[in-house]
Structure 1
Amino acid sequence: MTSARWRTSTYSGSNGGSCVEVADNMPGVVLVRDTKDRDGGALLFNPGSWQSFVNLAKRIGPLG
């Protein structure tokens, strides 16, 4: 994970809460972590599964 280039989700607010970072610069893997606990680990997805999640999230829209 040392080569991961993290970016903050565009849906993350500027209030410091509910933020997610994604690293999708590595072949065959997408990493997701909580910006409030960057050392707490990351979820690992294959690119196809991640894209399916993103597509579903876009169809559903923001919650709350």
Structure 2
Amino acid sequence: MQQLTTTVDSAAAALGIGRTKFYELMANGAFRSFKVGRRRLVVKQDLEAFVSKGILGCPDKNISS
């Protein structure tokens, strides 16, 4: 079965941003998350949607295809 969630640290690293910026984006509703014990988990599908929106929203930002 495919893993559906990831940690905040892994999500931030995958996006190439820091934890502080990731928490800021999460507070603004960019990502769904929940706690299991002491761990905060992020829905991977939200990460993919965020990247897709970013790519589609700014085609002239030096993104090579």
> For this structure pair, what is the TM-score category when the shorter chain's length is used for normalisation?
0.3 to 0.5
Kindly indicate which of the two structures has a greater share of residues assigned to helix: 2
TM-score by length of 2: 0.34
Larger radius of gyration: 2
Q: Which has the higher contact order (CA 8 A, sep 6+)?
A: 2
TM-score normalised per structure 1? 0.34
Higher-strand-fraction structure: 1
